[in-house]
Chains A and B, each alone.
Chain A
Amino acid sequence: MIKIEKLVKRFNGAPVLDGIDLEIEQGEIIVVIGPSGTGKSTLLRCLNFLERPDAGHLTLGDLDVDVTRATRADILEARRRTAFVFQNYALFANKTALENIAEGLIVVNRWPKVKAHARAREILERIGLADKADAYPASLSGGQQQRVGIGRAMAAQAEIILFDEPTSSLDPEWVEEVLGLMKQLASERQTMLVVTHEMGFAQDVADRVVFMDSGHIVEQGPPARLFREPRDPRTRDFLRKVLANQVDPLAT
C-alpha cells in the first residue's frame, strides 16, 4: 500500500503541492487529471525523489519515511519501490532496447547479466518488441520507445509504476499502442498512478480519478461518478473544456 500524507513542495517559496493526502491500494489504478501547472507531475516526481519534497510523510510498502529527514539510503529505497515512465521516454541512448530493460536489474538489483537479459527478453515479449531486442532507441519509433520505457519500469518490480503523461509526446498514430500496453498492465492489476489527458483511458481503466488544481486534490472518485457528476465547480469547468476538445469518433 502507498500512503502520501501532507506532502508539500515549493518552488522558490511558491507551493506547487500544498498538502497532498492520497492512499493507493495494491492493484489500484489511479488517474490524475487537472489543468497544466497544478502539480500533477511534481506529485509523481516527489514520490521517487526526482524532486525533494519540503514536508510530508511517505509510506511505500514497508518503507516509511518523513521526507524532510530522508537519508540517501531512504531515497534509493523509495526509488526502488517506485518505477517511473517519462513523457519523453528518456531511454538510455547508448543501450539497446534489451539493455535498457536489463540495466536496473544488473546495476541496482545486482542480478547476473545472463539472468537479467533472460528477464528482459520475457518483458520484450510481453510488450510486443521481441524482434527489437538489439535495436538502439534512435532507430525505434516514438511508440516503440515508450513501450521500452514501460518495459524498463516493469522490470523494476516496484510497488507502483508512475506514468508522467506517457502519451503526450507521441504522434497520434502511436498513442493507441502505448495505451493498449497500459491497459494490459492494468488488467494484470499492476498498481499504477497515471497523469494523463487521455480522458478515454481514465474512463475505461481507472479505479479512481483524482482531480488536482493549484497544488490541491479538489475531488476524487470512480470515473463514472466523477465524469458524470463532478461536485466541485472547478472540476466541472475543467471537464467541460477538455471534453469539448475530445471528439468520440464512435459516438452517434
Chain B
Amino acid sequence: MNVLDVDYMVGLVPVLIRYLPLTLAMAVAGMALALVLACGLAVIRVLRIPGLNGATLLFISFFRGTPLLVQLFLFYYGLPQVLAFLTQINGVTATIMGLTLHFSAYMAESIRAAIVGVDRSQTEAALSIGMTNGQLMRRIVLPQATRVAVPTLMNYFIDMIKATSLAFTLGVTELMGATQKEAAGSFLYFEAFITVAIIYWLIVEGLAWFQRRLETRLNEAYRR
C-alpha cells in the first residue's frame, strides 16, 4: 500500500473549493426557506389553528418519517411525471425543495417547544398592558424563543450543509459530486474523499465557532 499522496490532496483543494459556493448556496437557501416554513408550522401548532393543525401534523409526520434521499428522488424523478409544469425542475431546485421540506418538519417542532417554553406570565403581562397577540409574539415571545431554539436550529443547519452532498445523486456537481469525478479520474479515492471530508469538517467547525459567539450574545440578558 502506498503512503498518502499529500501533494495530490493539496492540489485537489483549490479544485474542490470552486464547488463550495454551490454547496453553501443550497444550504443557505434551504435553511432560510425552512426557517420561514417552520415558524409558520410552529405558530399553527401553538395556536392550534383549526384545519391547518391537522394538515401540519400530517406534513411533519411524512417529512420526518421518510428518508431525505427518498424525498429527493420523489421530487426530482417522480413529481415531473405527474405534474407537467415541473418537467423543467433541475437538480439544484429539487435539492433546495427537499432540504426545505425535510428540515422544516424537524425545525417546526423545536421552534414550537421554544415558544411554549416562554414563561406564561410574561404573555399575561403583555396582554394586560393592551398588546395584541401579534405584538406579543413579535416583541416578547419570539425573541426569547429564539434564544432557546438557536442551538438546535444550528444543529439542523450543520446537518443540512452535509445533506447537500445528496444533490450529487441528482446529477448536481457540488462539492461531493466534484470529488467523485476527480477521484474517478485519478483513482486516488482515499485521498480525494479524505480531502472533501476535511473541507466539510472545517466548514462545520467554523459554524460552531460562530454559534458559540451568537449564543454568548443572546444570553447577555439572562446573566445574573
A residues sitting closer than 8 Å to B (CB atoms) are 48, 50, 76, 79-80, 82-84, 86, 88, 90-96, 103-104, 107-108, 136, 138-139, 152, 156
Contact = CB atoms under 8 A, between A and B. Distances in A.
12 contacts: A79-B129, A80-B130, A82-B128, A83-B129, A84-B128, A86-B125, A88-B121, A92-B140, A94-B143, A94-B147, A104-B130, A156-B130
Contact of A92 (B126, B127, B220): B126
B139 interface: yes
B217 interface: no
Contacts of A93: 119, 122, 144, 221-222
Contacts of B135: 107-108
A95 B221 CA distance: 7
A108 B131 contact: yes
A92 B121 CA distance: 9
A92 B129 contact: no
Contacts, number: 72
Interface string B135-151: 10001100110010000
Nearest to A79: B130
Interface residues of B, number: 23
Contacts of A152: 125, 129
B221 to A, nearest CB: 4
Interface string B111-134: 000000001011011111111100
A111 B26 CA distance: 43
A109 to B, nearest CB: 8
Given A76-B130, A107-B131, A108-B131, A136 B125 contact: no
Nearest to B126: A92
A92 B122 contact: yes
Q: Which 10 A-B pairs have the closest CB atoms?
A: A90-B121, A90-B125, A84-B128, A104-B129, A79-B130, A136-B221, A108-B130, A80-B130, A94-B143, A138-B222
A152 B129 CA distance: 9
B223 interface: yes
Contact of B223 (A94, A96, A138): A138
A138 B122 CA distance: 14
A48 B223 CA distance: 33
Contacts of B223: 136, 138-139
B143 to A, nearest CB: 5
Contacts of B144: 93-94
A80 B127 CA distance: 10
A82 B131 CA distance: 13
A134 B41 CA distance: 35
A107 B130 CA distance: 9
A152 B131 CA distance: 13
Contacts of A136: 220-223
B139 A91 contact: no
Nearest to B136: A107
Nearest to A87: B121
Given A82-B128, A84-B129, A136-B223, 14 more contacts: A48-B128, A79-B129, A80-B130, A83-B129, A84-B125, A92-B126, A95-B221, A96-B221, A107-B131, A107-B135, A138-B221, A139-B224, A156-B129, A156-B130
B78 to A, nearest CB: 45
A94 B130 contact: no
Contact of A86 (B121, B143, B221): B121
A48 to B, nearest CB: 5
A138 B224 contact: yes
Contacts of A91: 122, 125
A92 B119 CA distance: 9
Contacts of B224: 138-139
Contacts of A48: 128
Contacts of A107: 131, 135, 139
